[in-house]
Amino acid sequence: MVALHQGLDFLRRKWDREEWHLFCLESTRAHPLRELLHQCPYSRHSFERPRGYAGDAELIDYVYAERATGVSRMGKAIYHYLYAQSGPASVRERRLILAREIDAVAERVKRPRILSVACGHLREAETALAVRERRIGELIAVDQDELSLAEVTRQHAGGLVRPVCDTVRSIVLGRTSFSGVDLAYSAGLYDYLNEATAKRLTRQLFGMLRSGGRLVVANFAPNTPDAGYMESFMDWWLVYRDEEQMKGVYSEIDPKQIASLSMTRDEVGNVIYLTLERR
Ligand SMILES: C[S@@+](CC[C@H](N)C(=O)[O-])C[C@H]1O[C@@H](n2cnc3c(N)ncnc32)[C@H](O)[C@@H]1O
C-alpha cells in the first residue's frame, strides 16, 4: 500500500493532466488490483457512488471513524492504511476546527445564528460543546441530500438544528437566503465547485452575515498526497485550490465590507481555511 499510494502520487505529479486522466480512466479500471482494493469499504463506496454523486456524507463517515463490519481481512487492512493517511487526518482535523468555530461564536455572541452549507451529517455539531449545552440560537443545516438530513434530524432532536433541504444553485441564484448569521461555514463543498460558482456562493454567504459575523470556507490544497489514490482507485476528484486560487473565491465581495481576512492551513498543510469577517 505504501508503494502504491506513493507511486500514484508520484505519477500524478509527473504526468500532465490528460495523461493522468487517461491512466485513471483506462489503466486503473481494468487493473486486477482494483478488485482487491475495492474490498476496502471506503474505496468501494467512493467508486460506486451509491447516492449518485461523489463525496457523500456516508463516505465521509468512513473517514471520521473506522468502521468495517462484514469486511474481509484484506479489506480491513487496506481501509486501515488509508484511514491513517494525511488526507483523512485533515478531514478529522477539519471537523474539530469547525467545532471550535461553533464554540467560539457562542462565546462571542449570545445564542448565535449559525449556517452550515453542505452540512452532510453535521458531525462537527456533535463535537461542539456549545451545541451540547444548547448555547446556540439556531444552527441551519443545508444540504441537497434528504438521507443526510434525516441523520442530522436523528442526531439533533430538540429544535436547535434546523435541517434545510436545498442546493448551492438555489443559494447562488438568491432563491434561498438567510439573514443575521453570526457564523456561516462550508467544508467539503468548495472542493467540488468551479470558480464561478465558488465566487458567487461566497458573495451570497458573506451577504447573509450580520456585522461582525464570520464566514469560514475550507478547501483542499493541491499538494495533498492522497489525490493520486483517490482519483485512480476511488474515482474521487476534487477541485484543489492554493492560496492564490482562494483569493479568487472572495474576489466578488466589496473589500470595503471585509473587516478582516485570513488564510491558514491545517497542521499537515492539506486544507486551506479562508476566514472573512464582515464589517
Ligand atoms: C464531502 S460532504 C461534506 C459534509 C460535511 N460538510 C463534512 O464536512 O463532513 C459534501 C456534502 O455536500 C453536499 N452537496 C454537494 N453538492 C451540493 C449542492 N450542490 N447543494 C447542496 N449540497 C451539496 C452533499 O450532499 C454532501 O453532504
Residue 68 has pLDDT above 90, yes or no: no
Q: Cell 456561516 appears where?
A: 184
User: Quick check: CB of 145 below 6 Å from ligand 1?
Assistant: yes
Residue ID of nearest Cα to ligand 1 atom 10: 188
User: How confident is the prediction for the chain on average, in pLDDT?
Assistant: 97
User: Quick check: CB of 197 below 6 Å from ligand 1?
Assistant: no
Residue ID of nearest Cα to ligand 1 atom 6: 119
User: Quick check: CB of 236 below 6 Å from ligand 1?
Assistant: no
How does pLDDT run across 245-258, given as a tens digit for each residue? 999 999 999 999 99
Residue 94 to residue 273: CA distance in whole angstroms: 9
The β-bridge relationship of strands 161-165 and 209-220 is: unpaired
What's the CA-to-centroid distance between 54 and ligand 1, angstroms?
9
Residues belonging to the chain:
279
What's the CA-to-centroid distance between 112 and ligand 1, angstroms?
23
What's the CA-to-centroid distance between 50 and ligand 1, angstroms?
15
User: Quick check: CB of 143 below 6 Å from ligand 1?
Assistant: yes
Residue 61 to residue 44: CA distance in whole angstroms: 14
How does pLDDT run across 152-171, given as a tens digit for each residue? 999 999 899 999 999 999 99
First and final C-alpha spacing in the chain: 49
What's the CA-to-centroid distance between 56 and ligand 1, angstroms?
7
Q: Which cell numbers in the block locate residue 10?
A: 508520484
Residue 271 to residue 61: CA distance in whole angstroms: 18
- Which is the closest atom of ligand 1 to the Cα of 51? 25
Angle at 179 between CA 173 and CA 181, to 5 degrees: 115
Domain with CATH 3.40.50.150 in the chain: 88-224+238-278
Dihedral of CA 185/187/191/193: which sign?
Answer: negative
Residue 164 to residue 119: CA distance in whole angstroms: 10
List, in order, residues 6 or more apart from 217 with CB less than 8 Å away.
Answer: 185, 186, 187, 190, 202, 246, 249, 273, 274, 275
In this prediction, residue 124 has a pLDDT band, given cuts at 50, 70 and 90, of very high
What local confidence, expressed as pLDDT, does residue 25 receive? 92
SS3 state of residue 242: coil
Residue 23 to residue 102: CA distance in whole angstroms: 42
In this prediction, residue 69 has a pLDDT band, given cuts at 50, 70 and 90, of confident
User: Quick check: CB of 123 below 6 Å from ligand 1?
Assistant: yes
**CA nearest 141: which of 130, 156, 127?**
156
How does pLDDT run across 197-233, given as a tens digit for each residue? 999 999 999 999 999 999 999 999 998 999 999 999 9
Average pLDDT over residues 27-40: 94
SS3 state of residue 76: helix
User: Quick check: CB of 191 below 6 Å from ligand 1?
Assistant: no
H or E, element range at 177: none
What local confidence, expressed as pLDDT, does residue 63 receive? 98
Q: Which CATH class is domain 88-224+238-278?
A: alpha beta
User: Quick check: CB of 167 below 6 Å from ligand 1?
Assistant: yes
How does pLDDT run across 85-95, given as a tens digit for each residue? 999 999 999 99
